[in-house]
Chains A and B, each alone.
Chain A
Amino acid sequence: MPPNCLTSIRDKLGNGSDCSGRFLWGVTATVCLGDLLRGTNLGDRLPELSGRSVLLATRDQLAAALALIELDGVARRLIVCPPDIPSVHLPSVIAKCGVDAIVSDHDLQDHGGLGGPLRFTCSTAITPVKGQEVEHRATEWVLLTSGTTGAPKMVIHSLGALMAAIDLGQNLGSDVVWGTFYDIRRYGGLQIFLRAILGRGSLVLSSASESVADHLTRLGAHAVTHLSGTPSHWRRALMSPQARSIAPCYIRLSGEIADQASLNALRSFYPEARIGHAFASTEAGVGFEVNDGLAGFPASMVGAHGEVEMKIDNGSLRIRSARTALRYVDAGDGVLADEEGFVDTGDIVELRGDRYHFLGRTNGVINVGGLKVYPEEVEAVINRHPAVRMSIVRSRKNPITGSLVSADVVLKGGPDPNSADGQIADFKREILQICHQSLAAHKIPATIRCVPALEIAAAGKLVRHHA
């Protein structure tokens, strides 16, 4: 059956296959998918959620996973909140998405300003269903991604688009155990969740509160066979003694540029594993997967006709396929695809020989271990120091987190910044202090350099060399 004909995740789960040996393993609880098919984690209130625009905001990832399975095909719209969304943004998400029901595993009251949507409680406990019929419909999925102002962008997908990259003919063995370092409420993690659920596998969920060592030990205990994460996740895993406790047969990297050093390190650490890196983003969907062990992607993929079409315009990669998102909820966030249906990924690529390689982002966003940093936000904080005339924040390559933030600073007075070393060191320390007070850890410059001047373009703007 083509994916688009599926009514819902739950229909697919219940479609003949035996789920009694399939599990979702959280940190504190485990749920058998067979039990979920006969029960609910929403009390007995699922029928009340039919046709509603539902905000799913849980602390526990397993509770979210169960609610996603229940709500798909029931809710009109399903807004999936990542765990780290600042509560200050929730009222605006609720207003813009027309939310009329909130499903959560904790009391959201304390945040205030959420208005009057109905409240529903979910948990990791499954109770039997009393047999009420619920009308089925195609659910609109809304995923959140961080935007320039810090407010999330809300991206609309259909289940068909979300699962269009998943080859259900692959990994159909019931002994497939998926694991991911991602949270499943982000696009990269959601892809793995859907692969596990729509295939015939089980899934080991991650937890932000768990150490790398404990997570790897748990993955090993469940004999994970397919494991996915960003190159930074993987580099961090390889630095743990517990990296030896897993022996995956498939390793998947996505979310950041997979460089050759990372691919080689994984190859030598897990010589038996198939290693692939995927290009995907919340807006563009899964673009492609590269399985030849080399960084970048073959140039022949660009311009080729097929399920996914790619072109390069102004150095940036554009993608058209059935896997891309439909649109943004808020028209103010811009137009997602051009008139021909191509989504600009904002990733700059360069042709070297017969392969394209990723260089960076067109908007200058720095990707620190999978977390976005907008240079302008960091510059604004640095510029608060009274001795700073101007600053520019750049990406600096790093073998652990892919990139780090680095700052060049021009000080007021004195063309030669090296004239008073002691004073310069004091200024740098003070700038770092200001950054520590105002910025998340990954946004604080790892290195600060004092320079005599910064390049200014004819239009009066700082010259940013993003690539």
Chain B
Amino acid sequence: MSIESTIIAEIHQIGGEIEKDLPPLTDDLVLLDSGLDSLAIAILVTRLEDTLGLDPFTESNDTPPPVTLGEFIRFYQNAAKLSDVDSGQAG
């Protein structure tokens, strides 16, 4: 599974757990407007650390955190390239 589809699947999973109807997950969707609050985004980041082995929030100190879903996905794709992890179809 690509990084992008892993992230989208995890967002749907968490949305289901907290019983939130999510808007269409487009590239320019502002994460904090996605129906996921900061606690849910924190859970997403933790689950992605387990599934992808990546935590770009902790690893990239000087990059501003992603605001939109597109930026969030690229944040992980760039981290995957940097850490030389096999990122499947990503990118």
Nearest CB to that of A445 among chain B residues? B43
Knowing A236-B32, A369-B42, A446-B46 are in contact, say whether A400-B64 is a contact too (CB < 8 A): no
Q: What distance in Å separates the Cβ of A319 from its nearest Cβ neighbour in chain B?
A: 29
Q: What distance in Å separates the Cβ of A459 from its nearest Cβ neighbour in chain B?
A: 32
Query: Considering the complex of A and B, which 7 residue pairs feature the smallest CB-CB distances, nearest first?
Result: A399-B57, A400-B42, A401-B42, A264-B61, A236-B38, A446-B43, A399-B58
Q: What distance in Å separates the Cβ of B23 from its nearest Cβ neighbour in chain A?
A: 15
Q: What distance in Å separates the Cβ of B36 from its nearest Cβ neighbour in chain A?
A: 11
Does the CB pair B57–A400 fall under 8 Å?
yes
B74 at the interface (CB under 8 A from A): no
Stretch binding the partner chain, chosen from A41-49, A119-127, A218-226, A237-245: A237-245
A396 at the interface (CB under 8 A from B): yes
Neighbouring B residues of A261 by C-beta, 8 Å = 57-58, 61
Q: What distance in Å separates the Cβ of B47 from its nearest Cβ neighbour in chain A?
A: 7
Q: What distance in Å separates the Cβ of B54 from its nearest Cβ neighbour in chain A?
A: 12
Q: What distance in Å separates the Cβ of A314 from its nearest Cβ neighbour in chain B?
A: 29
Question: When chains A and B are docked, how far (Å) is the Cα of A399 from the Cα of B39?
Answer: 11
B79 at the interface (CB under 8 A from A): no
Knowing A213-B32, A239-B31, A441-B39 are in contact, say whether A399-B45 is a contact too (CB < 8 A): yes
Does the CB pair B55–A399 fall under 8 Å?
yes
Neighbouring A residues of B41 by C-beta, 8 Å = 239, 400
Q: What distance in Å separates the Cβ of B69 from its nearest Cβ neighbour in chain A?
A: 11
Question: When chains A and B are docked, how far (Å) is the Cα of A232 from the Cα of B65?
Answer: 13
Question: When chains A and B are docked, how far (Å) is the Cα of A235 from the Cα of B24?
Answer: 25
Question: When chains A and B are docked, how far (Å) is the Cα of A260 from the Cα of B66?
Answer: 18
Question: When chains A and B are docked, how far (Å) is the Cα of A159 from the Cα of B67?
Answer: 41
Q: Which residues of B contact A (CB under 8 A)?
A: 17-18, 30-33, 38-39, 41-43, 45-47, 50, 55, 57-58, 61-62, 64-67
Question: When chains A and B are docked, how far (Å) is the Cα of A128 from the Cα of B8?
Answer: 58
Knowing A232-B38, A442-B39 are in contact, say whether A398-B64 is a contact too (CB < 8 A): no
A447 at the interface (CB under 8 A from B): yes
Question: When chains A and B are docked, how far (Å) is the Cα of A236 from the Cα of B47?
Answer: 18
Contact for A401 among B32, B38, B55, B67, CB less than 8 A:
B38
Nearest CB to that of B38 among chain A residues? A236
Does the CB pair A446–B32 fall under 8 Å?
no
A368 at the interface (CB under 8 A from B): yes
Does the CB pair B42–A268 fall under 8 Å?
no
A93 at the interface (CB under 8 A from B): no
Neighbouring B residues of A265 by C-beta, 8 Å = 61-62, 64-65
Knowing A239-B65, A239-B66, A239-B67 are in contact, say whether A396-B46 is a contact too (CB < 8 A): yes
A213-B33, A238-B64, A404-B46 provided; 5 other pairs, C-beta below 8 A?
Answer: A236-B32, A269-B64, A398-B42, A399-B45, A400-B41
Nearest CB to that of B50 among chain A residues? A447
Q: What distance in Å separates the Cβ of B48 from its nearest Cβ neighbour in chain A?
A: 11
Nearest CB to that of B33 among chain A residues? A213
- Give per-residue flags for A361-377: 1 if the beta carbon is below 8 A from chain B beta carbons, else 0: 00000001100000000
Question: When chains A and B are docked, how far (Å) is the Cα of A241 from the Cα of B28?
Answer: 11
Question: When chains A and B are docked, how far (Å) is the Cα of A268 from the Cα of B45?
Answer: 22
| Most A Cβ at <10 Å: residue of B17, B18, B42 | B42
- Show 23 residue pairs from A and B whose CB-CB distance is below 8 angstroms, ordered by the A residue: A212-B32, A212-B38, A213-B32, A232-B38, A238-B64, A239-B32, A240-B32, A241-B67, A260-B61, A261-B57, A264-B62, A265-B62, A268-B62, A369-B42, A397-B58, A398-B42, A399-B42, A399-B57, A404-B43, A404-B46, A446-B42, A446-B46, A447-B46
Q: What distance in Å separates the Cβ of B49 from its nearest Cβ neighbour in chain A?
A: 9
Does the CB pair A401–B39 fall under 8 Å?
yes
Which residues from 392 to 410 on chain A have a C-beta closer than 8 Å to any C-beta of chain B? 396-401, 404, 406
Contact for B38 among A397, A400, A432, CB less than 8 A:
A400
Neighbouring A residues of B32 by C-beta, 8 Å = 211-213, 236, 239-240
Neighbouring B residues of A241 by C-beta, 8 Å = 30, 67
